[in-house]
Every structure is written in structure tokens, then in C-alpha cells.
Structure 1
Amino acid sequence: MPVSPAMAEDLAASIAKLYADAELALLEKLRKALMEGIDSPLWAEIKLRSIGDLRAAVEDVTAALQQDADGAVGRALAEGYGRGRQAAVAELGALDIGRELQARDVLPGAPAVDRLAASYAQDTRPLYVRITRAVLDVYRSIVTRASASTLLGGLTRRQATQHALDRFAQRGVTGFVDSAGRSWELAAYAEMAVRSVTARAAIEGHVDALAELGVGLVIVSDAPLECPLCAPWEGEVLSLGPESGPRTIRAEAAIQPTGLRAALRPPETVAVHVAGSLVEARASGLFHPNCRHSLSAYLPGVTTRPPHHATPGTTYADTQRQRAIERNIRAWKRRQVAATTEKDRRRAGVFVRQWQAKARLHVDAHPDLRRNPVREQVGVAR
């Protein structure tokens, strides 16, 4: 059974939901903090004096989020690693080494799982500090701008506050920048991080199991709508060892002749073209978050290269357009939560439905795409 990032997708989805719920809870607390006493002439002074209360409320949400997420990630990593090993058992089940692998007990606290959990905790630790800072910065900015708008005779305080909340809700809690310099909203950043680390757990469980049995080669699937990062590795054989770069090797055939004459001969070998190492391919972008490719054991003389999946009429750019539509749906759903009046809430709902209609039309126009309602959700406000 091939292993892929999708194998751990459901594990990541449940954790990403924690962050989405937290984002809406933060947005709701920000809205309530700003709207309380908004008609008072001393509103600005009261708001700035009460910033400590908002900080405490935000820190309570982030502390609970960190505790829940870290525990859930630890469990998800152990499950993902186990699924990867089970995939190796399924692949090699018909062979003696498959039955040997199935008989082995591996504790959930495998070193790989502990290492990945520590890596995730380190990567996301700054996230919680940034959440508090982002919410408080927006709060101060809204109070200042709303007061200025009123003094200058422009917008009313309510209008100015709503406009600023709309802008904040539109982009979400941002400020999380990846190594490529891209800025992420909170839930999307968390989903990316969780999907990445749980996928790594599944792949490492699979690779560790194969390595234990001396299987040193794997093959990458040919997935539809591949991205430019993955395309060079499609259908290629990779080594699990440290050697990098393309080369042709002679490997023992997985199935050898039997009988007395066969016993007197050296093992049969076959020529195998190896495109590089798995470490090299992953460093180049293979198995990035949302990657569609899978990995399976390559048995020389037995495994055949996968067929090419043609996707006429649909391109990688079409998948990215779908992601953009999903981001707009989430943004307008956040604006529903941030709405201070029923009119604004209904208006945001209209835009949600318009973008949902665009999602339906886009998927209908591209049969190779599938709509995933989870990617259009932003959690449930508490």
C-alpha cells in the first residue's frame, strides 16, 4: 500500500479545526471588547485603560489552544507513523519479510515521533506570542482611528470600528511568514504546519519499516495536477540511503529462481535507474503540504513504473484558483463573525454565498477537481 501525505490528512484536519475555532473566538472577543460602551464620550480612554483585560482574555485562548494542539499533534504523529508502517506491511505482505515486519512491535513513542513532535513544538511556539501581539495591535489601531474619524467629522465611531474589524476579519490573524516569505492567516498556517508534520510521520514510519528489512529503494507515484516542485520526481526510483544524484545501479532481483541449479549461481540482478535520494527529493519540494504524490517500495524486477495520469482541460493553476476561492469564502465568514449589526452580518452572508457559487462553477468546469467543504470552514465561534 503506497504512503502519501493524504494518509494523515484527516489527522491534520481535526487539529487545524482547533486553530480555526480559536481564531473566531479571538475575533469575537475583539469585537465585544470594542463595542462595549461605544456610545460613551469616554470610550477611547476606557478602551485603552482596559487593554489588560483583553490581553488576559487573548492569552487564555492561546494557552488553551497550545495545550490542546500539542496533545492532539502528539497523538496524530503516533497514529500517522503507525499508518506508515502498516502501509509497508500491506505492500510486502505476500513476502516473508512482510510477515516478519508485521510481527514486530513498535511503541508509539518511537524516536522519529518524538523528534517530529519536538520539531512541531519549536516551529509553532512563536505562533502564540504573535497571536496576542496581532490582536492587541489591531485593538489599539482601531481605537485610535475610530476616535480620529469622529473628531474629524468623518465616519461615526461605529462605522469606523466596523470598517476596521472588516479589514482584520478579511485577512485573519496574520503575521506568520514562512521560509519563502509568504504571509499566512492563523488557521491556514497551522493547517500547513500540521499537515506537513503528520505527513512526515506517515512517510517516516513507512521508510523506517522498509529500511529495517533492507529494502533500499522506493518509487514515487504519478499524480494528477502535479506542481512544478514535484514534477521532476514523478514515477522515479529513489534510494533511502545518503547517496544523491541520478545514477544506474545493479540490484538483486526481488524474486530469485529456485532449485539446485539456481543455488549454485550468483543472485540475478537487474539494472535500475535511480533519480536521487528521498532526502534530496524532499529537500527539493516533494511531499510538500497538499502534495498529491505517494511513495511505495520498489522491488527490482517486480515493480513497474506507474502510468501517467493525464488531466486534459485542468492545470495546476486551476487548483490554485480553487485555493483562492476557498480563502475568500473563509474571509467573508470571518467578517460575519466580526459584524456589529445585523445589516453587516447579512451583507457578509451574501458574499459568502457568491463565493460558494463561484466554487461550484469552478469545480463543475474542471471535472478533475473536487470540492472539500472543510477547506471552506473557519470553525465555530465560542
Structure 2
Amino acid sequence: MPVSPDGGARFAKVLADLYGDAAQHLIALVADRLAAGITDPGWAERKLSDVLRLRRDAQRFVTRLADQVDASLYELLAEAYSAGVLAAGGPGVTEAQAGIVATNRGAVQAYAAELAGTVQTTHTRILRTAEDVYRRVIADVAGQVVTGVQTRREAAARAVSRFAQQGVTGYVDAKGRNWSIDTYAEMATRTTAGQAHLQGGIDRYQQQGRYLVVISDAPEECSLCRPWERTVLSLTGREPTPGEVEGHRYGGTLAQARAAGLFHPQCRHSMAGFIPGLTRPAGRPTAEPEGDALRQRQRALERAVRESKRRVAAAEPFGDTAQLARDRALLRKRQAALREFVAEHDRKADVSRRRVNLVSR
């Protein structure tokens, strides 16, 4: 069975769901606190005096989140590594004989420590976001109501919906782009779990005495990986003889290919053990840039649906406001667009971790 960084995708969903739920909980925490007593006199003053209580609640939540992450990371990455060993296969390695899978504990611990350090950098931002948004909504609502623009309930629903639209930012990259905490956690986990999965396969191949692998021809590939499709690569740096790779294209070492972009995050390519004289030659690599464009478009549509679901959930605590009606209408529109896209291009959608109520309560 081929070994691929895409083998880390199912493990990434575990952490993405955890952080997605965390973002939803944080939005609900802020919205519920702001909605309580919103029509009462002196609402803004009371809410500002509650900032310390909100901070304590958010801190307790983040502490629980950190404990959950710590408890799951090593097991998750050990499973990804072992799955790579199993995928590489060979005599004596089967699902039924899990004891034969020799997990490299040191490597897995290093991957877990790296990933923990990455995702937990978002926790400080989570705390700061909760308090900043809480204060900002109070100020916005007070200002708008004083000028008679809209009711306090409407103003709060609008402000919190705007917060949900932006999401809980966990990371800002070098280009200034904001990454929501669930998207960032998924990206980081998918990358690290994919590396652990690949390492498990590499270790197993070398344990079997193999030093060559061949790269797959994946559908919907990107321009970084396309040059490496159906290419034979060396795991160790040892050069094969012309006779060993006869009929195949030799491209150098796996390390060189990865440095050039192969097996980047979300890469769909895989590698399989190459056996001189037995692995059959492949034809010319096929390009499918249209498929990659479709995949990127689908992801954008799915992100839009998830954003709308956050906005609906954020606006609901304030009752049947005009903002909630707008958010529900936008969600229906985005869901319809995604359904049409999936049906038109015969694809499968994966959007959601949480159902939301689309009718007035």
C-alpha cells in the first residue's frame, strides 16, 4: 500500500474538530454574556464590570483545551506513524498483529512536542480575542444606541455576527493573513501527522532493505508536485544503477524532492516501494490543473458555509433580530451554491461540524 502525507488527513480532523468546537464555544460565551439583560437600563456599565469574570471563564476554558490537546497529541501521532508502517507493509506487518509495528518513540515524541508548541501558541490569542471582542461590542452597541441608529439588541447581534464572520484568529502569517484557530490547527496537524505517517513508511522500507521509492500520479495535482510524478527516488542517497531503474525516470533523493515542494501540506501524492526488475514502468505523467482549481474552489465554498454557521450561532442568543434573519438567508444561499457546485462537478462535500437552526425560535 502506498505511503502519503495525505495519510495524516484523518488525524488532522480530530484536532480541527476540537479547535472548531473551541471557537464555537468562545463565540457562544461572549454572545451569551452580552445577551443577558441586554434590554435593562445600565446594561453597558454592568457588562464592563463583568470583564474580569469573562476573563476567568475564558482562562478556565483554555486550560481545559490545553489539557485535551496534550492528552491526545502523542497518541494521535503514534497512530499516524504506525499507519505509515502498516501502509509500507511487508512480511509480518498486519492490522491483526499490531505488536509487530515498531513505533519510533523518540521521533513521535519530537513530532508531538513540535505540534503542541505550534497549536498552543494560539491559546494566548484566544484569551485576548474574547476580551477584546467583548469590550468592542459593548462600545459599538452603546454608541449606536445613543445615536438612535438601531435597538441595542439589533446592534449587539450585528456586532457579534461580525465577530463570528472574522472567526477566532489563531495565527497571522508573514503575508498578514489571519487563520482561524480550527483552520490553523487542521493545517498544522495535517502537516505534522503527514510527516509522521511518511516517516513510518520510510523506516519500514529501510527496515526491509529497500532504498528506492516511486512517486504516484495523483489526480488534481499542483504545479509543485507534478514534476515528481512517476519518478523513482532514493531514500538514502545511494544512486541506483541504470539497470535497476531501466524504463523508469530517476529523480535523485527523496530529500531533494521534498525540498523542491513534494509532499507539501495537503499534498495528494504517495510513494511506494520500488523493486528493481519487478516494478513496472509507467507512462508519462498526466497533468490535471483543472482538478486542482475545482478542489480549491470547493474548499472556498465550504469555508463560506462554515463561516455562515458561526454567524447564525452567534446572532441567535439575541432573539429574532434582523441580523439573524440576514445571516440565515446568507447561509441558505451559500449552502445552495455548494450543493450546486458539488452536483455539477460530481464531488463530495465535507462542511460541517455543527448543525444550526434555520427557523425562528
Q: Normalising by structure 1, what TM-score?
A: 0.83
| SS, match of residue 272 in structure 2 | strand
CA shift in 2, pair 1:106/1:371, >3 Å? closer
> Following TM superposition, by how much is the alpha carbon of 1:176 offset from its aligned partner in structure 2, in angstroms?
1.0
CA shift in 2, pair 1:238/1:176, >3 Å? same
**Pair 1:22 & 2:22 matched:** yes
* Contact 2:4–2:269 under 8 Å retained in 1: yes
Match of 2:241 in 1: 250
Match of 1:341 in 2: 319
> Following TM superposition, by how much is the alpha carbon of 1:125 offset from its aligned partner in structure 2, in angstroms?
2.1
Q: CA RMSD in A?
A: 2.9
**Pairwise mapping of residues 34-183 of structure 1 onto structure 2 (< 5 A)?**
34-89=34-89, 92-93=90-91, 105-108=100-103, 110-178=105-173, 181-183=176-178
Match of 1:295 in 2: 271
Q: Distance in 2 between matches of 1:313 and 1:16?
A: 28
Q: Distance in 2 between matches of 1:306 and 1:352?
A: 46
**Pair 1:365 & 2:348 matched:** no
| SS, match of residue 10 in structure 2 | helix
> Following TM superposition, by how much is the alpha carbon of 1:10 offset from its aligned partner in structure 2, in angstroms?
2.3
Q: Distance in 2 between matches of 1:42 and 1:119?
A: 48
Partner amino acid, structure 1, of 2:320: E
CA shift in 2, pair 1:379/1:297, >3 Å? farther
Partner amino acid, structure 2, of 1:371: K
Residue ranges of structure 1 left out of the alignment (5+ in a row): 254-268
Q: Distance in 1 between matches of 2:332 and 2:106?
A: 47
CA shift in 2, pair 1:14/1:88, >3 Å? same
| SS, match of residue 224 in structure 1 | coil
**Residues 53-96 of structure 1, C-alpha deviation per residue, up to 9 Å, x if partnerless?**
1111112222212211232221111111111111122xx44xxx
Q: Distance in 2 between matches of 1:197 and 1:108?
A: 16
Match of 2:353 in 1: 377
Match of 2:331 in 1: 352
* Contact 1:130–1:175 under 8 Å retained in 2: yes
Q: Distance in 2 between matches of 1:118 and 1:103?
A: 24
Q: Percent identity?
A: 38
Match of 1:275 in 2: 251
**Pair 1:12 & 2:3 matched:** no
* Contact 2:69–2:116 under 8 Å retained in 1: no
Q: Distance in 1 between matches of 2:154 and 2:73?
A: 41
| SS, match of residue 276 in structure 1 | strand
Which of structure 1's runs of 4+ aligned residues deviate more than 6 A? Answer: none
* Contact 1:20–1:378 under 8 Å retained in 2: no
Q: Distance in 1 between matches of 2:35 and 2:43?
A: 9
Q: Distance in 1 between matches of 2:40 and 2:177?
A: 41
CA shift in 2, pair 1:333/1:306, >3 Å? farther
| SS, match of residue 241 in structure 2 | strand
Q: Distance in 1 between matches of 2:288 and 2:49?
A: 61
Q: Distance in 2 between matches of 1:314 and 1:360?
A: 19
Deviates more, 1:50-59 or 1:310-319: 310-319
